[in-house]
Structure 1
Amino acid sequence: MAESLSAPALLEHALRRWFPGEIAVVSSFGTESAVMLHMVAQVNPATPILFLDTGKLFGETLRYRDQLVDHLGLRDVRALRPDPDDLAEADADGALWARGPDACCHHRKVVPLERGLTGFAAWINGRKRHHGGLRQGLSSVEVVDGRVKLNPLAGWGRAEIERYFEAHALPRHPLEADGFASVGCMPCSDRVAPGEDARAGRWRGREKTECGIHRAPHNLRREAAGQSLG
């Protein structure tokens, strides 16, 4: 059943029926984030929104977060930050991103998210197949480490994203107009040239394409999803 639902319907079921009080949204407040956050706010603006504040973000992203929170009326946005003692040991000079980007993401994203998800049975994120790479075969429902993970916009392309922004007059990330199609941490995000994939500017020049918070899932088959989330 879950795989056959539209994105708004999947969110409605997840927030009100399947996991009330036990689900959170993980959002980067990036260039496409307003779509998912708007849908969630229509169902329950008090849904916990987990935001990974790595200490390496663009100032524009932090200001955009504040703008969207106010615009959408989000009431429970939680900033997840790296542990200062952990960083003092692992990244004392703040340049771990250059020496070991995987390790940097681990300390600044993976560990804080693991801590922030404690107590939640499920979480929602905004990954989409059109991002390419490991996301091409993305399903709407996954199970990772015993926790349900929902990707309501998995099948959405750029055209659908654009139509939704326009239909609901949603604010845009300010860096989008400056050529950034996907925005993460400042040292590891670059502008994207015409014709490049949306995420081509992330970790440019490296084989790395993911930060590590999205681990390999045990995908739920359509029948299993229908049985467990019907």
Structure 2
Amino acid sequence: MTAGGTLSAPELLERAVRTWFPGEVAVVSSFGTESAVLLHQVALIDPATPVLFLETGKLFGETLRYRDSLIERLGLTDVRSLRPDPAALKQADADGVLWMRNPDACCYVRKVEPLERGLRPFKAWINGRKRHHGGQRAGLPLVEYVDGRAKLNPLAGWSRDDIEAYFERHDLPHHPLEADGFLSVGCMPCSDRVAPGEDIRAGRWRGQEKTECGIHNRPRPAPAAACGGCG
């Protein structure tokens, strides 16, 4: 069987947390508009699973409050906020508007480098990307292998309708900005409302060729040995 094979999202998560990487796997979550689905499934397996949250210093207040409400609602007990290195941030973005001059550099100092530090104790990480997001995500596999670490995408095959149905079935709260047209929420300066008919991530880095922050830009197929065959 190929890595992840025919496993459903709950099955993949169960095996990752309890069998393949016990005590050595983390969830990376933005606490964005679709995040509650993955976090809810993880909480049902083990609410003490580490959750890594990139606190960039540029997030919407609504996102921070939504994070806090989901933590309480789901009973998550190990949510870790990863922040930029103060010295690196001062050197790279002393005036706070690096996002305007060089958004890739801004994402690196505020997201990529902090996540690299945060992932060091772990052999695997779980994220909530999906193929319906389009762009680089259209061919997303269930399992990848990046920088010596397994990277699991349990919701890769879920559609927007699947996500909405799960929210309704489990009575999960939506991100407060979703009702105002923000279908994908990242840092405040680089997130915009999405017009009807636009791609769900059309509001991210509006008007630029940039479509990813950089934390997901180095995928490689997962070898079978990465997770005991993942079958």
- Cα RMSD (Å) of the superposition? 1.3
Q: Distance in 1 between matches of 2:40 and 2:91?
A: 39
Residue from 146, 164, 167 that aligns with 1:165: 167
Shift of 1:95: 0.2
Structure 2 counterpart of 1:143, which letter? Y
1:25 aligns with: 27
Query: What is the TM-score when the length of structure 1 is the normalising length?
Result: 0.97
Conserved? CA contact 2:31–2:67, under 8 Å: yes
Structure 1 counterpart of 2:135, which letter? G
Shift of 1:219: 1.2
- SS of 1:219's equivalent? coil
Conserved? CA contact 1:141–1:225, under 8 Å: no
1:117 aligns with: 119
- SS of 2:5's equivalent? helix
Unaligned runs of 5+ in 2: none
Q: Distance in 1 between matches of 2:221 and 2:203?
A: 28
Residue from 15, 18, 21 that aligns with 1:16: 18
Conserved? CA contact 2:150–2:226, under 8 Å: no
1:195 aligns with: 197
Shift of 1:218: 1.4
Shift of 1:19: 0.2
2:82 aligns with: 80
Residue from 99, 104, 107 that aligns with 2:106: 104
- SS of 2:105's equivalent? helix
Conserved? CA contact 1:3–1:225, under 8 Å: no
Report the number of matched residues: 229
Structure 2 counterpart of 1:228, which letter? G
1:218 aligned onto 2:215: no
- SS of 2:214's equivalent? coil
- SS of 1:4's equivalent? coil
Residue from 140, 143, 155 that aligns with 1:141: 143
1:56 aligned onto 2:30: no
Residue from 86, 89, 92 that aligns with 1:90: 92
Spell out, residue by residue over 1:174-225, the C-alpha distance to the aligned partner (whole angstroms, 9 max, x if none): 000000000000000000000000000000000000000012221137x777
Residue from 44, 47, 53 that aligns with 2:46: 44
Shift of 1:119: 1.3
Structure 1 counterpart of 2:213, which letter? C
- SS of 1:207's equivalent? coil
Q: Distance in 2 between matches of 1:69 and 1:227?
A: 31
2:229 aligns with: 228
2:132 aligns with: 130
In structure 2, relative to structure 1, the CA distance for the partners of 1:224 and 1:137 (3 Å cut) is: farther
Unaligned runs of 5+ in 1: none
Spell out, residue by residue over 1:2-22, the C-alpha distance to the aligned partner (whole angstroms, 9 max, x if none): 221000000000000000000
Conserved? CA contact 2:5–2:230, under 8 Å: no
Conserved? CA contact 1:144–1:215, under 8 Å: no
Residue from 174, 183, 188 that aligns with 1:181: 183
Structure 1 counterpart of 2:30, which letter? S
Identity %: 73
- SS of 1:102's equivalent? helix
- SS of 2:151's equivalent? strand
Query: What is the TM-score when the length of structure 2 is the normalising length?
Result: 0.97
2:9 aligns with: 7
- SS of 2:207's equivalent? coil
- SS of 2:12's equivalent? helix
